[in-house]
Each structure stands twice: as structure tokens, then as C-alpha cells.
Structure 1
Amino acid sequence: MAKPTPPSPLSSPHAIVCKFGGTSIGTAARMLQVADIVQTAISNGGPVVVVLSAMSSNIKAEGTTSRLLEAADDVMNPESTRYLDIVDGICASHLRAVDEALPVEAVEERARVGKEVRDECDRLKGFLSAAQVINEMSPRSRDNVIGTGEKLSALVFTSVLRSRSLNPTYVNLEKLIQKQFDAGTIDQSFYDYLSSRLSTLIGPLLPHSVPVVTGYLGPVPGSLLTTIGRGYTDLTAALIAVGTGADELQIWKEVDGIFTADPRKVPLARMVPFITPEEAAELTYYGSEVIHPFTMEQVIRAAIPIRIKNAFRPEGAGTVIVPEGWQPPQHAEVLETLTPKGTRIPKPGHAQQQHPPTPAAEEEGDDDTPRPTAVTIKDHITVLNVHSNRKSVSHGFFAHIFLSLDRHGIVVDLISTSEVHVSMALSPNVNEGNLEKALVELRKYGTVDVIRNMSILSLVGKKLRNMVGSAGLMFATLGRHGVNIEMISQGASEINISCVIEEEKASEALVAVHDELIVGIMPL
């Protein structure tokens, strides 16, 4: 089936959409750093659209969104008023950011944004109090509560940019959706509608203003967290990039880009300058926090590159997720922004990454050996083995198993099957209560074994399709290091080879596979 045609974007030449995560703007000092980044991007050609998450600390549970969800839960306790204290704390932290981020002489600006923050928090307290009275917190109501975080951060940051005379415009998306959609049939047409609406709202502001947009999309059919999840601000930025026909989407995080492995665990891990969408999606699913695959799909289908950059080290080039057939912009000033000095622009259709050379190749200055892109580990995996009791061997054997798991909300990451046996690697942090209920059902169909404390090791690379014997090399490497393999799976895309190993061996296995297969250091 042909892909649906994306909405025609409103013309906004050279536009860059910059999305900043909650940690990047978590304090006044960090907001000022982000303001520097935006100011530099504008001076390099602009225009720039800024999309913000709610302010957060390095600990997710202490972030504004988590605290708002805590307040929403507290409302259901008719005797509690702690939700009011939570909102007061959120208000105080944002007023502190205003006080520390704005110049002392900006008296009117301080007063204006201070009032906006207090009014927003008072509105929220009134909303929560009403919800407590009627003893109801619907999914739509929870959407309204968590949206306060993005509104507050955008209000404060708009004020910071205004104090620098950058002509920002605060854009609140809480009323973006103006059509009825069935929560059970959300498909691409819904996201095309959002892109079109965002084009209408934001396009006219460019290039004369800097839109500062709430990452909150407003109440979404089926609820924001259920339909989209906590990564909804990334999706908002992606849809804005599509709707405005941006030249690039930049996702600013706390890491320099995408690495060949987790640099905290693998000393020789190196950043990947360019990567394909398929590789990025596989890495995200199997343990690397890159960008949500569905968010990425919205931008890639519109042939817009995504750059992952570090808000704390903005001078780095980052990693570019390059759509197939992407053509670099024909504008020199934009090309300078998209491609810092020393970074190679890939040829259209050949956006493969630059692999780190082997030590021998470093001396020669070149290495054309095809290698995988990256290796990743996903910990806290539970393996479920179901061996048929043979009386139930039929075409319905697998159907019964997966229907049982689905009924109890259990997600399967990997599957390996034979005629009478199925092994499944379950996603981390599986709900133990739900798992026990599923096991009762599964034992009707055969013998069930549960193995805990396992990890999924995944080798990812588009070039794996052309690398004969790569699976054998991977398994031979693990064997030399005494790593036992519980199950093996290779995706239909042929760019991912995964296996399940003991969690206590995961770190050693990660380093070994990375150094031997990606860097090219052969064992003595």
C-alpha cells in the first residue's frame, strides 16, 4: 500500500525546528545556555522554531511532569490537600527561574511573566480542586494537568528571549485539535491533520518572529500518555517540522549524539556522524535512547533530516539521521548551519555512518572495511519458554500464547519458535502480577519456564545485509568470552542481530562485541 501523501507545508525557507528536553532547560542557568543556542542559530540564517518540554532535573521523578502527575493522583484522595503544595512548589521553582534568568533592569518583563506563571498555577489549582470535589480525574483531565508544565516553561523562556530583543511569540497548543477523532482509529490522517494545523498556526510567524511552542499538543483522543506517551514533545516538534517544511529538526538532549555503544560502559565507543532511520529505530527499540521511532517516521517521510545534539556542548556537530535520497539545501548559509566545518555531507541515498577505523587503519588514514553501526544492551529482561504438551499442537498454538500475553498487557521484544516450542524475551519491568496471571493461562498449552535477570544484546547496521558471516563473528566473539546464549533472533529487516544472554555477563559482552566487530580490534 502506498504511503499517504504528507500535507503540503507552508513555505518557510531555511527554517530549523529546535526541540529542547526538560533537563536542557531545567534551571535558569540552563535556560540562558539554550537562549545562547537559539540566538546563534538565528544569527546563522534562521528562522528558528523552539519547542520545549517541561522543566526537569536529572532525576525524572523530580521533573515538572512527574510532579504534575503526582498531583493528579493525589486529587483522588478526598482528605488530601498535598496536590496544592505540589503546585505551589512548581510555581515557586518557575518564579525562581524568572528571577535568576531575567536581567535585573527588566522590571516590566519580570512583572509580566511572574503574573503569567502565578495565573497559570492558580488556574491549575482551581481545576484540581474541582476534580477533587466531583471525585473524577478523566484521561482528558490528566492531559490538561500535565500540559501546565510545557506552558510554564514556554512562558518563562519566551520572556528570556524577549529580554534579548529576539522578538519571540509564545504559542500555546492546548486548543490545537478542533476536530473529533475516534481514539480507537487514530492513524496517519490524524497526524497529517496536526501538521496542517501547525502549519497554519506557526508558518505565518516566520521569519519575523521566533515561535516558542509548548510541546503539549492539547487533549488527545484516548489521552496524551496512552496514544503518544511521554515522548509527546518530540512528536510535536516533528509535526511542526513537517508542517512548516523545515530544513532540519534538531533534538537537543544531554548527549553528544548517537554512539557506537554506550560510552559509559564501552571506553572505545565513538559518536556516529550519520545514521539511517532504520538503524536509529532499531537502536531505540533495543536500549539506546535516541528518538521514538514513530516521531522519527513523521519527519523522515517528509525527507527532513534529524540532528541529535548536546545542549551542554552545542559546539559539537551531533549525529544526523538522514532520510534516503535526502538532498542538502542549496543555500550556503543554511548549509553552514546544517553541516559544521569538517563534517562530510553524504551523497543522496548513501547516508551510512562513518565507522571508527581500526588502529592499523588509523595509521594508514583510511578503512573501507564494512562494519556494523552500533551495539546496544537492554537489561532486566525476562525469558519465557513455552513447550507444547503435544496434545495442543495445531495452528492455534501460537495464537493462544500471544492472545494470553496481550490480554495481560505483556510486551514481547524477541521471539524464537519451532513447531512445538516458543521462546520469548519480555520487555523490562514486566508487571509481575500480570505475568503470574498469564502464566496460569499458558500452562494450559504446555510446560512453561521463566528465566529472569537476562539481557538482550543487539548488533545493528544497515551494512549487515551485505556482511557475510557477521552473525557467526558475533557468536564466536561471545563464545571466546564465555558468554552463553539463551536465544537468538534476526529481524526481517536484516539490519539487526539480537541474542539473549545472562545479565551479569552483559557489560563484558557489550565491550567484546563492540571492540572486535565495530572497532576491529582482533583478539590475540
Structure 2
Amino acid sequence: MATELKEYLVIIPDLPDVLAKRQVLLKPHNQDAAPLVKAGRVPFFGSTLAHHSAEGQQVAENGTVMIIKAESEEEIREIIRKDIFTIEGVWDFGKLSIWPFKTLQQFVLVYLAKLASMRSRRDNSWVVQKFGGTSIGKFPDKVAEIVKSARLGGDRPAVICSARSSGKKVFGTTSRLLQVYRTLRGIVAITQDPDMQELLFDRLRSIIRDIRDDQVATVQMYILRQDIRDETIRQITADCQELLDYTSAAKRFNLDINGKAKDKMVSFGEKLSCRLMVAMLRDRDIPAEYVDLSDIVPSNNLDQLRPDFFHEAAAVIGKRVEACNGRVPVITGFFGAVPGSLIDSGIGRGYSDLCAVLVAIGLHAERVQIWKEVDGIFTADPREVPDARCLPSITPSEAAELTFYGSEVIHHLALSLAIQAKPPVSIFVKNVQKPWGQGTVVVPTDGDDTSSWPIDYLDPSDSDSTSSTALPKMPTAVTIKRDITIFNILSNKQSMSHGFFVKVFTILAEHDISVDLISTSEVHVSMAINSSNMDPSQIKNVQCRLAEEGEVNVLPDMAILSLVGAELKNMTGIAGKMFAILGEQDVNIEMISQGASEINISCVIPDKDATRALNMLHDELFTKNAI
């Protein structure tokens, strides 16, 4: 029985240069292959109908783009190496891009996103590179080399830095700065006890000293040139002294330690990361400029975000970055002033993703690269599910659902703004340890606003030349969100249901609590709440207040298990299959919910069963049904 072949989009970006320099010839194959589609600025591409062939490919300005049928990516590389190149060793095969696709529409969207990333060699376009705190904390040298490679390759990189973290997020710079904030609040709250104030301030001073020492040690470890090293250490010391002076003034004058004060203190984390990265680039003879966005947006003293705030912020940010005049801008991922607070306004942590998209919009860039320590976005958390696979592409709505339900993917506001931008911004998630890897590209589909995507580059009349057999519908990913507490409330009053709900949600709002999942009837409501930032006393207070409205039952140590996928709404019986798998393995389900978007099915289960349930679902719905 013949092995079933799959279709792959293959891009060879540097082939024209190789041909010109080495006179490497392409071998023609399969003269009966389907005709190529050519339209507008899109390079030639075609679908090969025979195994081990790639007919009709033509070298275009941006490289060679083909559709090749093969059994695997490894076989594709062999086809390229043996059947296309006549001389070995003339091209870096790490630059080869291979993307599996299921439908013509998905091929077009992935192809256009990749095309945007290839155009930089022609027009020296901006590429926004956002690096996470762990990447900067553990691999600053790799980060610097990625930026250097982009610049030498013809791109104009704009670098966004998160606050450094050398290990777990709880020990990262941002977490330490939040500890400074909480300590300062405690100091200001006990003005009648100067001895205790001084004791707490000593603790605060020690935290800032530890932050400074950690940053200085990293500079001493990685920066080779003495002059750059000394200058950077002076800058870091001055930044930490500024933070200490601010907290001292707040203590002395009993300042209001509010959301804006929190923003000011937290912003130092990104400033310190940028100091390091500027030094890393200069140490490699790459001219770089420190760009502080913490006060870039004029404050209007409002507590609410205006609808046009982000567009105004993008314009201001873009103008500041353009002023770097050829130097690589190294930009703080923290930006302000945000009405109310960046941290407390609903944006929260993860704001550096949003900052990266704002920079891209301000620069009219079409690409944002989100650099992490994993290969891309996976079908499940690879730390918990060994068989999880990296997704070549994902829709913004799917990415947003995964982020909300436990996966650290991309900030939901960043995804929203990227789609709405004109031109739209393609987001690539890549591994800082494997910069040559494919990663995951976030591309819109029918459910997203694609009005400004250049789909008209393709002539619909030619679509038959790239037709493919429809593959079975599958979910996109499964994820788990821990630290969940369920509140079950049964009304004790014979009142209208809307009055009962108003009182329940008023109590939650008073305690600044949002609900992740909810299930209701006229006199009963069950709510799944993220309790990761709630201490036991706060949970008890909420329980007591809710008890005024009815009988309350609290279930701690729960987790939300979510199945996510744009195709779920077209998969008859998928919910029943999901719950049957859990039931067969004796996993108790406390709550069930399906989102209004119809791209996720969620349930709440005991946390002790979370990892087992995650692996069971992935095995049955992904591994055994893998194409």
C-alpha cells in the first residue's frame, strides 16, 4: 500500500544569491505538474503531483517558493539536497523553511506571513524582536547574536526587552520589584511606628541591593570591553539609586502608594534589561540606543483607557524609535503613562508583548517576533505532555483562548491590535535557543478581521493548481489553568434572579476579583475564580460576604481543563468524546462551559488530576489522530 503524501510549503530565501555566485543549477522534474500561479508581487509557486519532484519552480526576487508532496520534513530536506542542488555545501540548509498545511486557505495565509518576513532583504524593513525575561536572564549572548544576525541580514531590528529572570518568575526582577512596592505600602501604612518602618525599609533596601548586584554580576560576566562594562555598571547603579531615592521620599513624605507608584517601581526592571542589552550589542560593534518608554505617553490624569489610547501611544512610540537614526533601538517593554495603571488597568503582566505590537504599528512594521525558550506554540504544554507538537500556525482567536486558559502564549490585547493594524502585523513565536527553527506564525482566518490582508495577490481562478484533499478536523490545543477555586452560591431569597446576580458580582468587584468560568440558573451560580493571587483570608472574606446572599460552598485546589480550536464548532460530538475520555479515567468534573466564540470547551476538575487528564486528552485527540 502506497504511503500517503502530505503537502508542504517550502521557501528557499537566499537561492538567487547562491545561483549567482556558484552557478548552481536547478534540476527540472515532472513536466506534467500543475501550472504555477502567478499574481502581483507573489513569487512563483506550484504544486508537484509526483513523489520526489518539484517541477516548474522559478527563481523570483525573494527566493524560490514551492509546494512539495512528501512523507515528512526530513524527506523534503533530502529532496532539496539531492534533487535540486547539484553541488553540496553551497547553502546553509538551516535557512530552509518547511511548513505543512491542510487547506489552500491556510497555505495562502501562512505563505503571505512568510512572504512578509522575506521582503526585508529587499526593502530594509523594520522587524520588531521582543525577548522574554527568561531569555535575557539565561541567554543574553544568544539574544545579542539574534539581533546582530538580523541587522547584518538586512533587517532593521527594534528590540523590546522584558525584565530579566534567571529562573522561576517568582524570583525574577519584576517579582522583586513588586515586593518592593508591597513593602513600601506597608511602610507608609504604619506612620505611627517609626521603628517598624525602619525595619521594613531595611528589608526594602536589601531587595534593591540584591537586584543591583544581580544585574552588575551579569554585566561583568558577559561584557568583554572594559569601557562598556564600566559605563553600564554606572548606569545600573544610578537606576537602582533612583529607585531607592523614590521609595525614601515616599516614606519621608507619606506619599500615596497607588497604581501609578507601582508602575514607576516595576518599570525599573525593563530599564535594567535594556542597559544590559545595549551593552551586549555595543560589545559586538553593533551601534545601539537605550529607549525608555516608561513616560513616553503624555499623562491626562484619567483613570480609564480611552478607545484611541493605543493608537496615540503607537504614534508617539514610533516617532521616538525612528529618532535612533540607524542605531538599533533597545526599548523598554514597560510603557506609560497608562491611565490608571499599566499593571492594574486590565493590561497586567505580559505588557511587553503589547509594547512590541505598539512599536510595530508605530513603525509600520509587518513583523513581530516573540522570542521564548520553546520552539513555538504547542498542542499542549511540552513540560507536562511529552508528546506535544509545535504548531506551524494558529489563529489569533485560538492564541487568545490559550493565553486566557493557562498557556503563556501572547497577550490578548497584542493579538487584537496586531489584527486591526493596517498593514496587519504577523506575529512569529520562535525559540531563542534555536533561531533557525520554524516556530509558530499567528495568522487570521475567516473568523478574524482580514479585510486588509493582501489575499487579492492570488487569482482565485488559479486555485485548482494548489488544491489539496481536506484533512480530518482536529482541535488545535489542550491546556490547563491551575490555582482555581470554585464558589457555589444558592440564593436564600425568593427574589428575582437578576437582583441575586447583581449582588454577587458587586461583592466580587469590591474585592477586585474576575471570574474565569460561570454556570448559572435562576437561583444558583457556580464560578471558577483564579485564586493564585488571593491569600486564604481574602477567600474567607469573600465567602462571608457571599453568605449574606445564600448558601456558599467553596472548592479549592481545582483546575480548568480547556480544549481549544477554531474547528470545534464543526466537530460533531467532540464535547461528548472529551468528557467520555475523562469519565473513563475517573476524573470528576465539577463544572462545564463552552465559550460564546465556540472555539473552546472547558471544564473544572480537581488539580490533583490535572496532569493526568491533560495527557489523556492529548493522547486520544492529538497523538492517536495525528495526520
TM-score (norm 1): 0.84
Aligned counterparts of 1:143 and 1:194: Cα–Cα separation in 2: 17
Long gaps (5+) in structure 2: 1-119, 188-196, 461-467
User: Equivalent residue for 1:15?
Assistant: 126
Aligned counterparts of 1:394 and 1:97: Cα–Cα separation in 2: 59
Q: Secondary structure at the match of 1:205?
A: coil
Counterpart pick for 2:173 among 64, 70, 87: 64
User: Equivalent residue for 2:194?
Assistant: none
Counterpart pick for 1:205 among 317, 324, 337: 324
Q: Cα–Cα, structure 1 residues 379 and 62, in superposed 2: closer, same or farther, change >3 Å?
A: closer
Contact 1:51–1:214 under 8 Å retained in 2: yes
In the TM superposition, what whole-angstrom CA distance separates every residue of 1:66-114 from its partner, at most 9, and x where no partner exists?
A: 22333344442234333333333322322222222222xx333233223
Contact 1:19–1:251 under 8 Å retained in 2: yes
Superposition misfits of 4+ residues, deviation over 6 angstroms: none
Superposed displacement of residue 132, structure 1: 2.4
Aligned counterparts of 1:290 and 1:513: Cα–Cα separation in 2: 20
Aligned counterparts of 1:494 and 1:60: Cα–Cα separation in 2: 32
Q: Secondary structure at the match of 2:298?
A: coil
Counterpart pick for 1:478 among 582, 587, 600: 582
Superposed displacement of residue 375, structure 1: 0.8
1:221 aligns with 2:221: no
* Greater C-alpha radius of gyration: 2
1:126 aligns with 2:245: yes
Aligned counterparts of 2:483 and 2:180: Cα–Cα separation in 1: 30
Superposed displacement of residue 431, structure 1: 4.1
Q: Cα–Cα, structure 1 residues 175 and 510, in superposed 2: closer, same or farther, change >3 Å?
A: closer
Counterpart pick for 1:460 among 528, 549, 564: 564
Superposed displacement of residue 393, structure 1: 4.1
In the TM superposition, what whole-angstrom CA distance separates every residue of 1:332-367 from its partner, at most 9, and x where no partner exists?
A: xxxxxxxxxxxxx9x9xxxxxxxxxxxxxxxxx998
Percent of matched pairs sharing the same residue: 44
User: Equivalent residue for 1:359?
Assistant: none
Q: Secondary structure at the match of 2:180?
A: helix
Contact 1:257–1:271 under 8 Å retained in 2: yes
User: Equivalent residue for 2:443?
Assistant: 322
Q: Cα–Cα, structure 1 residues 506 and 17, in superposed 2: closer, same or farther, change >3 Å?
A: same
In the TM superposition, what whole-angstrom CA distance separates every residue of 1:305-358 from its partner, at most 9, and x where no partner exists?
A: 11112222322221111134375899xxxxxxxxxxxxxx9x9xxxxxxxxxxx
Aligned counterparts of 2:552 and 2:294: Cα–Cα separation in 1: 48
In the TM superposition, what whole-angstrom CA distance separates every residue of 1:397-430 from its partner, at most 9, and x where no partner exists?
A: 2222222222223321111122332222122334
Superposed displacement of residue 479, structure 1: 2.0
Superposed displacement of residue 127, structure 1: 2.5
Contact 1:305–1:323 under 8 Å retained in 2: no
Contact 1:72–1:137 under 8 Å retained in 2: no
What are the equivalent positions in structure 2 for 1:164-175 lying under 5 Å apart? 164-175=284-295
Q: Cα–Cα, structure 1 residues 112 and 464, in superposed 2: closer, same or farther, change >3 Å?
A: same
In the TM superposition, what whole-angstrom CA distance separates every residue of 1:125-180 from its partner, at most 9, and x where no partner exists?
A: 33332222223353333322222222222122112211222221211223302241
User: Equivalent residue for 1:3?
Assistant: none
Aligned counterparts of 1:282 and 1:247: Cα–Cα separation in 2: 23
Contact 1:78–1:132 under 8 Å retained in 2: no
Structure 1 range deviating more: 377-386 or 319-328 = 319-328
Contact 2:497–2:523 under 8 Å retained in 1: no
User: Equivalent residue for 2:140?
Assistant: 31
In the TM superposition, what whole-angstrom CA distance separates every residue of 1:197-256 from its partner, at most 9, and x where no partner exists?
A: 0111113436x2211111221443323321232222222112101111112111112222
Contact 2:298–2:337 under 8 Å retained in 1: no
Long gaps (5+) in structure 1: 1-10, 331-344, 348-364
Aligned counterparts of 1:464 and 1:86: Cα–Cα separation in 2: 48
Q: Secondary structure at the match of 1:224?
A: coil
User: Equivalent residue for 2:387?
Assistant: 268
Aligned counterparts of 1:176 and 1:113: Cα–Cα separation in 2: 23
TM-score (norm 2): 0.71
User: Equivalent residue for 1:333?
Assistant: none
Aligned counterparts of 2:493 and 2:228: Cα–Cα separation in 1: 75
Structure 1 range deviating more: 241-250 or 405-414 = 405-414
Superposed displacement of residue 17, structure 1: 0.5
Contact 1:78–1:135 under 8 Å retained in 2: no
Aligned counterparts of 2:250 and 2:549: Cα–Cα separation in 1: 46
Aligned counterparts of 2:282 and 2:425: Cα–Cα separation in 1: 29
Q: Cα–Cα, structure 1 residues 395 and 128, in superposed 2: closer, same or farther, change >3 Å?
A: closer
Contact 1:262–1:376 under 8 Å retained in 2: yes
User: Equivalent residue for 2:372?
Assistant: 253
Counterpart pick for 2:231 among 90, 99, 112: 112
Aligned counterparts of 2:436 and 2:518: Cα–Cα separation in 1: 42
Contact 1:195–1:239 under 8 Å retained in 2: yes
The letter of the residue matching 1:65 is: T
Q: Cα–Cα, structure 1 residues 141 and 502, in superposed 2: closer, same or farther, change >3 Å?
A: closer
Contact 1:144–1:219 under 8 Å retained in 2: no
User: Equivalent residue for 2:71?
Assistant: none
Superposed displacement of residue 521, structure 1: 4.8
Aligned counterparts of 1:220 and 1:424: Cα–Cα separation in 2: 30
Superposed displacement of residue 46, structure 1: 0.6
Superposed displacement of residue 193, structure 1: 1.2
Contact 1:16–1:247 under 8 Å retained in 2: yes
User: Equivalent residue for 2:398?
Assistant: 279
Relative contact order, CA 8 A, sep 6+: which one is greater? 1
User: Equivalent residue for 1:243?
Assistant: 362
What are the equivalent positions in structure 2 for 1:295-334 lying under 5 Å apart? 295-302=414-421, 303-324=424-445, 325=450, 327=453
Aligned counterparts of 1:276 and 1:394: Cα–Cα separation in 2: 37
Q: Secondary structure at the match of 1:288?
A: coil
Q: Cα–Cα, structure 1 residues 442 and 156, in superposed 2: closer, same or farther, change >3 Å?
A: closer
User: Equivalent residue for 2:513?
Assistant: 410
Superposed displacement of residue 258, structure 1: 1.1
Q: Secondary structure at the match of 2:481?
A: strand
Contact 1:173–1:218 under 8 Å retained in 2: yes
Aligned counterparts of 2:331 and 2:526: Cα–Cα separation in 1: 45
Contact 2:485–2:529 under 8 Å retained in 1: yes
Q: Cα–Cα, structure 1 residues 404 and 66, in superposed 2: closer, same or farther, change >3 Å?
A: closer
Contact 2:357–2:425 under 8 Å retained in 1: no
Contact 2:157–2:328 under 8 Å retained in 1: yes
Aligned counterparts of 2:331 and 2:537: Cα–Cα separation in 1: 40
Q: Secondary structure at the match of 1:458?
A: strand
Contact 2:124–2:154 under 8 Å retained in 1: no
Q: Cα–Cα, structure 1 residues 209 and 463, in superposed 2: closer, same or farther, change >3 Å?
A: same
Aligned counterparts of 1:186 and 1:136: Cα–Cα separation in 2: 24
Aligned counterparts of 1:88 and 1:380: Cα–Cα separation in 2: 32
1:290 aligns with 2:409: yes
Q: Cα–Cα, structure 1 residues 163 and 395, in superposed 2: closer, same or farther, change >3 Å?
A: closer
User: Equivalent residue for 2:531?
Assistant: 428
User: Equivalent residue for 2:208?
Assistant: 87
In the TM superposition, what whole-angstrom CA distance separates every residue of 1:32-75 from its partner, at most 9, and x where no partner exists?
A: 11111111122332110001112221122322222233334444
Structure 1 range deviating more: 507-516 or 194-203 = 507-516
The letter of the residue matching 2:499 is: G
Q: Secondary structure at the match of 2:498?
A: coil
User: Equivalent residue for 2:498?
Assistant: 395
User: Equivalent residue for 1:163?
Assistant: 283
The letter of the residue matching 1:419 is: E
Aligned counterparts of 1:320 and 1:167: Cα–Cα separation in 2: 29
Counterpart pick for 1:498 among 588, 602, 612: 602
Contact 2:507–2:542 under 8 Å retained in 1: yes
